[in-house]
Chains A and B, each alone.
Chain A
Amino acid sequence: MNNNLQIHTPEGFRDIYNGEMKKKRKLMTSLMDVFDSYQYEEIETPAVEYFDVFGRDIGTTPSRELYKFFDRDGNTMVLRPDFTPSVARAVAMHFRPEDMPLRLCYEGQTYVNSQEYRLNLKEMTQMGVELIGDGSAEADAEVLAIICDLLKAAGLTEFQVSVGEVDYFKSLAGHSGLDAETLERVRSLISNKNFFGVGELLEGERIHESVKKALTEMPQMFGGREILRKAEELAVGVEAKDAIERLREIDVLLTKRGYGNYISYDFGLLSRYQYYTGIIFSAFTYGTGEPVAKGGRYDRLLSHFGTDAPAVGVGLYIDPLMNAMSRQGINL
């Protein structure tokens, strides 16, 4: 053994000390004030859950990226990679339909064993809200307004919340008749904004011309509210048309409340979390390579835990947010 060996933190984990912790605490306090102003009540769930809470049929972080270990009885345990399934499980356990709608907020550490993240952090602090038991466009708009207020509370002035609708793609996919493997390739090309790849892939596939045209255009279907009209012209299927209608409703609500400038639309936004069922969104700003917040609607997630309730929520990633703030010269 080398006695001079200095023990350092494992790769992907870090100490936060001196001024940085003070800044982090201050930021989190102002964010918590925003949750308060919308009357969200804080909930704490354990960092460790049974594997099934994040299992394959839930459609969350892939199994190989979860930190797993065993309890005394040999059950597989997981360090939570994400709060939403934990909160959904807790709601199904402790609340009844007459308690809805529920407004819950949380803060805590999440763990993902992956090199993929550009900050290279395997432990990240997340804060967020879940609005459970309300399936309306008002609920979607409320959560989107909260993100804008959170980012404003962090001192950001230039940011964009990009909103998509997973049903738009699902509807096209359903009408395409393509096999699962091809669809997965189309999905990945669209979410990588590969402007020509979809067209190349579908060339020669015997699918309906209108579906082909819409899928080919999807990587470029993002921008201001004018993109809603383009998406509508190309929409195939009732679900896709309903998706546009929902986004229009949300747009009206947010514009009325003065958040219109922060919102843009992106139909190519397709999360790797499979549990999203309606709107889905990411928030971006200068100075960080990662979105600072992500969220969406997950109307079927709670049924996995025995309660049927629509829900929408957002998680804010504190670490990339603090990077962005320091690179933009923002001091709270």
Chain B
Amino acid sequence: MRYLTIALTKGRLAKKTLKLFEKAGIEAKEAEDDSTRKLIFEDPDMKIRYFLAKGPDVPTYVAYGAADIGIVGEDTILEEGRNIYEVMDLGFGKCRMCICGPESAREYLASGDQIRVATKYPNIAKDYFLNKKHRTVEIIKLNGSIELAPIVGLSEVICDIVETGTTLRENGLTVLEEVCPLSARVVVNPISMKMENERISDFVRRMKEAL
């Protein structure tokens, strides 16, 4: 039998997923050991192997079929816009995609003026302003510490993930508008879904039971 390959998102999401794997009866001990240098792990009995990848790369692995299944945040799925199936909401990693800024930026948003939006998610931000708000904005792509942008005057607002809002408050920023709620998802390659339907459905069923 062919191995089913699963791509997991590195970091907090992987930790939660591995716990779920264990409950679902998939070997996860080795991967949970932080000191391991192995890149790929397997459960030979279930013919499942999995690896950890950076979030934005997970939909890529799945779209190309290098991984049959991926576990990734919905923010990444929306941003990457790949042709993949979204088959399950894992319910954890819950947060919101929001437009944030200092309270004073609210009037900029309300006005029709050209504003600058700093974000790690240029596609989500563009879609929100162009297709939902029907206005053009200047998108500035950043790779981290997005909260800095309005503070140092790089942009008027930011488009970013908000979990608790603590980082925002500590930096004098607040949520101005909500774009959409987010959580972790199980995604599947369309071809794998057809060719390995039974095994993938079985995997999803096990995950559902373990939740």
Report A's interface with B, CB cutoff 8 A: 116, 118, 158, 160, 162, 192-197, 222-223, 264, 266, 284-286, 288-291
Contacts and interface: CB of A to CB of B under 8 A. Distances in A.
Given A118-B63, A289-B64, A289-B65, A223 B197 contact: yes
A264 B194 contact: yes
Interface in B55-98: 63-65, 83-89
Interface string B16-38: 00000000000000000000000
For A192, A196, A266, A288, which residue has the most chain B Cβ atoms within 10 angstroms?
A: A192
Nearest to B2: A286
A160 B193 contact: no
B155 interface: no
A119 to B, nearest CB: 10
Contacts of A196: 88-89
B154 interface: no
Given A118-B63, A289-B65, A194 B86 contact: yes
Given A118-B63, A118-B64, A289 B85 contact: no
B191 A289 contact: yes
Interface of A, helix, strand, loop or mixed by DSSP: loop
Smallest CB-CB A-B distances: 5 pairs: A193-B85, A289-B65, A194-B86, A284-B194, A195-B87
26 contacts: A116-B83, A118-B64, A160-B194, A162-B194, A192-B83, A192-B84, A192-B85, A192-B86, A193-B86, A193-B188, A193-B190, A193-B193, A195-B87, A196-B89, A197-B86, A222-B197, A223-B197, A264-B194, A266-B194, A284-B191, A284-B194, A285-B195, A286-B195, A288-B65, A289-B191, A290-B191
A308 B193 CA distance: 38
B74 to A, nearest CB: 10
Contacts of B87: 193-195
Contact of A288 (B2, B83, B86, B191): B191
Nearest to B190: A193
A285 B63 CA distance: 15
Interface in B175-211: 188-191, 193-195, 197
A294 B190 CA distance: 14
Contacts of B2: 286
B70 to A, nearest CB: 13
Contacts of B83: 116, 118, 192
B197 A195 contact: no
A160 B64 CA distance: 18
B116 to A, nearest CB: 26
Interface in B89-122: 89
Nearest to B181: A200
B103 to A, nearest CB: 32
Given A116-B83, A195-B86, A290-B191, 15 more contacts: A158-B195, A160-B194, A192-B86, A193-B188, A193-B193, A194-B86, A195-B88, A196-B89, A222-B194, A284-B195, A288-B65, A288-B191, A289-B64, A289-B189, A291-B191
A266 B194 CA distance: 9
A185 B36 CA distance: 44
Nearest to B84: A192
A64 to B, nearest CB: 15
Nearest to A193: B85
A326 B191 CA distance: 17
A32 B52 CA distance: 45
Nearest to A200: B89
A177 to B, nearest CB: 24
B121 to A, nearest CB: 19
A291 B88 CA distance: 23
B86 to A, nearest CB: 4
Contacts of B86: 192-195, 197
Contacts of A284: 191, 194-195
A223 B84 CA distance: 18
Nearest to B65: A289
A99 B193 CA distance: 42
